Amino acid sequence: MLTINFTPFPNLETERLLLRRVDNNDVNEIFTLRSNVETMKYIPRPLVKSIEDALEHIAMIDSKIEANEGINWAITLKGNPKLIGIIGHYRIKPEHFRAEIGYMLLPEFQGKGIISEAIKKAVDYGFNVMGLHSIEAIIDPENTASAIVLEKNNFVKEAHLKENEFYEGRFLDTVIYSLLNK
Protein backbone atom coordinates (compact mmCIF):
# COMPACT_ATOMS: atom_id res chain seq x y z
CA MET A 1 0.00 0.00 0.00
CA LEU A 2 1.20 3.45 -0.91
CA THR A 3 2.03 5.93 1.86
CA ILE A 4 1.32 9.51 0.87
CA ASN A 5 2.52 12.61 2.69
CA PHE A 6 2.06 16.16 1.39
CA THR A 7 3.75 17.77 4.42
CA PRO A 8 5.79 19.90 3.94
CA PHE A 9 3.90 21.08 0.86
CA PRO A 10 5.92 20.41 -2.31
CA ASN A 11 6.31 23.49 -4.52
CA LEU A 12 7.19 22.43 -8.06
CA GLU A 13 9.07 24.40 -10.68
CA THR A 14 9.29 24.18 -14.46
CA GLU A 15 10.97 26.42 -17.00
CA ARG A 16 8.15 29.00 -16.93
CA LEU A 17 5.99 27.97 -13.99
CA LEU A 18 5.91 27.80 -10.23
CA LEU A 19 3.34 25.37 -8.87
CA ARG A 20 2.60 26.37 -5.29
CA ARG A 21 -0.02 25.87 -2.62
CA VAL A 22 -3.38 27.57 -3.12
CA ASP A 23 -4.17 30.00 -0.30
CA ASN A 24 -6.86 32.52 0.63
CA ASN A 25 -5.07 35.26 -1.32
CA ASP A 26 -6.09 33.32 -4.45
CA VAL A 27 -9.78 33.70 -3.67
CA ASN A 28 -10.54 36.11 -6.54
CA GLU A 29 -8.78 33.94 -9.10
CA ILE A 30 -10.44 30.78 -7.78
CA PHE A 31 -13.75 32.61 -8.01
CA THR A 32 -12.98 33.65 -11.61
CA LEU A 33 -11.96 30.10 -12.56
CA ARG A 34 -14.83 28.24 -10.90
CA SER A 35 -17.62 30.73 -11.67
CA ASN A 36 -16.78 30.97 -15.38
CA VAL A 37 -19.26 29.06 -17.56
CA GLU A 38 -16.55 28.60 -20.20
CA THR A 39 -13.84 27.13 -17.92
CA MET A 40 -16.43 24.98 -16.12
CA LYS A 41 -18.16 23.82 -19.32
CA TYR A 42 -16.75 20.28 -19.16
CA ILE A 43 -16.61 19.98 -15.37
CA PRO A 44 -19.83 18.58 -13.92
CA ARG A 45 -19.65 20.57 -10.68
CA PRO A 46 -21.76 23.52 -9.53
CA LEU A 47 -20.46 26.98 -10.38
CA VAL A 48 -18.99 28.97 -7.52
CA LYS A 49 -21.48 31.79 -6.92
CA SER A 50 -19.73 33.96 -4.33
CA ILE A 51 -16.41 34.77 -2.68
CA GLU A 52 -17.62 32.65 0.28
CA ASP A 53 -18.05 29.67 -2.09
CA ALA A 54 -14.53 30.26 -3.40
CA LEU A 55 -13.12 30.37 0.14
CA GLU A 56 -14.95 27.12 0.90
CA HIS A 57 -13.39 25.58 -2.20
CA ILE A 58 -9.92 26.62 -0.97
CA ALA A 59 -10.70 25.17 2.49
CA MET A 60 -11.74 21.89 0.82
CA ILE A 61 -8.43 21.81 -1.14
CA ASP A 62 -6.55 22.36 2.15
CA SER A 63 -8.42 19.63 4.03
CA LYS A 64 -7.61 17.10 1.26
CA ILE A 65 -3.91 18.05 1.41
CA GLU A 66 -3.86 17.78 5.20
CA ALA A 67 -5.57 14.37 5.07
CA ASN A 68 -3.16 13.27 2.28
CA GLU A 69 -6.20 12.46 0.11
CA GLY A 70 -5.44 14.81 -2.74
CA ILE A 71 -3.15 17.64 -3.75
CA ASN A 72 -3.74 20.80 -5.75
CA TRP A 73 -1.22 23.31 -6.96
CA ALA A 74 -1.86 26.89 -8.03
CA ILE A 75 -0.34 27.33 -11.48
CA THR A 76 1.59 30.62 -11.57
CA LEU A 77 4.04 32.16 -14.00
CA LYS A 78 7.50 32.62 -12.48
CA GLY A 79 7.91 36.12 -11.12
CA ASN A 80 4.14 36.63 -10.80
CA PRO A 81 2.33 35.14 -7.79
CA LYS A 82 -1.13 35.43 -9.43
CA LEU A 83 -2.94 32.10 -9.81
CA ILE A 84 -3.75 31.44 -13.49
CA GLY A 85 -4.92 27.87 -13.11
CA ILE A 86 -4.94 24.78 -10.97
CA ILE A 87 -3.60 21.25 -11.33
CA GLY A 88 -3.72 18.34 -8.95
CA HIS A 89 -4.02 14.67 -8.11
CA TYR A 90 -7.53 13.71 -7.00
CA ARG A 91 -9.27 10.56 -5.82
CA ILE A 92 -5.97 8.94 -4.92
CA LYS A 93 -6.35 5.18 -4.51
CA PRO A 94 -3.27 4.18 -2.50
CA GLU A 95 -4.28 0.51 -2.60
CA HIS A 96 -4.12 0.64 -6.42
CA PHE A 97 -1.16 3.06 -6.68
CA ARG A 98 -3.40 5.22 -8.87
CA ALA A 99 -4.63 8.80 -8.88
CA GLU A 100 -6.66 11.03 -11.13
CA ILE A 101 -5.09 14.17 -12.57
CA GLY A 102 -7.19 17.26 -13.18
CA TYR A 103 -6.44 20.79 -14.31
CA MET A 104 -8.04 24.12 -15.24
CA LEU A 105 -6.61 27.27 -16.75
CA LEU A 106 -8.01 30.77 -17.17
CA PRO A 107 -9.06 31.21 -20.84
CA GLU A 108 -6.54 33.99 -21.56
CA PHE A 109 -3.65 31.62 -20.77
CA GLN A 110 -4.90 28.67 -22.83
CA GLY A 111 -3.11 27.53 -25.99
CA LYS A 112 0.34 28.51 -24.74
CA GLY A 113 1.57 25.08 -23.62
CA ILE A 114 1.16 25.99 -19.95
CA ILE A 115 -1.04 23.02 -19.07
CA SER A 116 1.32 20.61 -20.84
CA GLU A 117 4.24 21.99 -18.84
CA ALA A 118 2.26 21.66 -15.60
CA ILE A 119 1.07 18.11 -16.48
CA LYS A 120 4.63 16.93 -17.12
CA LYS A 121 5.70 18.20 -13.69
CA ALA A 122 2.63 16.85 -11.84
CA VAL A 123 3.05 13.44 -13.55
CA ASP A 124 6.74 13.39 -12.64
CA TYR A 125 5.81 14.15 -9.02
CA GLY A 126 3.07 11.48 -9.06
CA PHE A 127 5.37 8.76 -10.35
CA ASN A 128 8.70 9.65 -8.75
CA VAL A 129 7.67 11.16 -5.40
CA MET A 130 4.23 9.73 -4.65
CA GLY A 131 5.13 6.33 -6.11
CA LEU A 132 2.04 6.00 -8.30
CA HIS A 133 1.88 3.22 -10.88
CA SER A 134 -0.82 4.84 -13.02
CA ILE A 135 -2.47 8.22 -13.45
CA GLU A 136 -5.88 8.64 -15.03
CA ALA A 137 -7.66 11.64 -16.46
CA ILE A 138 -11.44 11.62 -16.78
CA ILE A 139 -12.80 14.06 -19.33
CA ASP A 140 -15.96 15.00 -21.17
CA PRO A 141 -15.85 13.40 -24.65
CA GLU A 142 -16.51 16.83 -26.16
CA ASN A 143 -13.47 18.35 -24.46
CA THR A 144 -11.17 17.93 -27.46
CA ALA A 145 -8.59 20.46 -26.20
CA SER A 146 -8.06 18.33 -23.09
CA ALA A 147 -7.88 15.12 -25.15
CA ILE A 148 -5.18 16.68 -27.36
CA VAL A 149 -3.15 17.81 -24.33
CA LEU A 150 -3.39 14.35 -22.73
CA GLU A 151 -2.36 12.57 -25.94
CA LYS A 152 0.55 14.99 -26.36
CA ASN A 153 1.64 13.90 -22.86
CA ASN A 154 1.50 10.18 -23.73
CA PHE A 155 -1.82 9.45 -22.03
CA VAL A 156 -3.76 6.69 -23.80
CA LYS A 157 -7.52 6.58 -24.20
CA GLU A 158 -8.70 3.60 -22.16
CA ALA A 159 -12.45 3.82 -22.22
CA HIS A 160 -15.50 5.76 -23.30
CA LEU A 161 -18.20 5.19 -20.71
CA LYS A 162 -21.77 5.79 -21.81
CA GLU A 163 -24.00 7.95 -19.61
CA ASN A 164 -22.16 6.84 -16.46
CA GLU A 165 -22.56 10.15 -14.62
CA PHE A 166 -25.78 11.89 -13.69
CA TYR A 167 -25.55 15.66 -13.33
CA GLU A 168 -28.24 18.34 -13.30
CA GLY A 169 -30.95 16.06 -14.61
CA ARG A 170 -29.04 14.39 -17.41
CA PHE A 171 -26.69 11.49 -18.01
CA LEU A 172 -23.20 12.29 -19.22
CA ASP A 173 -20.57 10.19 -20.96
CA THR A 174 -17.00 10.21 -19.69
CA VAL A 175 -13.74 9.29 -21.36
CA ILE A 176 -10.86 7.84 -19.36
CA TYR A 177 -7.25 8.39 -20.35
CA SER A 178 -4.35 6.87 -18.47
CA LEU A 179 -0.60 6.83 -18.24
CA LEU A 180 1.46 4.03 -16.73
CA ASN A 181 4.73 4.49 -14.91
CA LYS A 182 7.06 2.52 -17.14
3-state secondary structure 128-167: HCCCCCEEEEEECCCCHHHHHHHHHCCCEEEEEEEEEEEE
Over residues 31-54, the mean pLDDT reads: 94
132 domain residue, yes or no: yes
Q: Is residue 38 predicted with pLDDT exceeding 90?
A: no
Residue 74, domain CATH = 3.40.630.30
Residue 64, in any domain of the structure: yes
User: For 15-28, what is each residue's pLDDT tens digit?
Assistant: 999 999 999 999 99
H or E element: which one contains 93?
strand 85-93
pLDDT digits (tens, 9 = 90+) for 47-66: 999 999 999 999 999 999 99
Averaged over 131-138, what is the pLDDT? Answer: 98
> How many domains, in total, are found in the chain?
1
In a domain, 126, yes or no: yes
Domain range enclosing 59: 12-180
142 part of a folded domain: yes
Question: Residue 4 domain-assigned?
Answer: no
Within-domain flag for 7 = no
Geometric angle at alpha carbon 48, from 42 and 51, rounded to 5°: 150
Within a domain: residue 3? Answer: no
Q: Considering only CA atoms, which of 12, 5, 165 is closest in space to residue 92?
A: 5
pLDDT(74) > 90: yes
Has residue 170 been placed in a domain? yes
Model confidence band, residue 1 (pLDDT cutoffs 50, 70, 90): confident
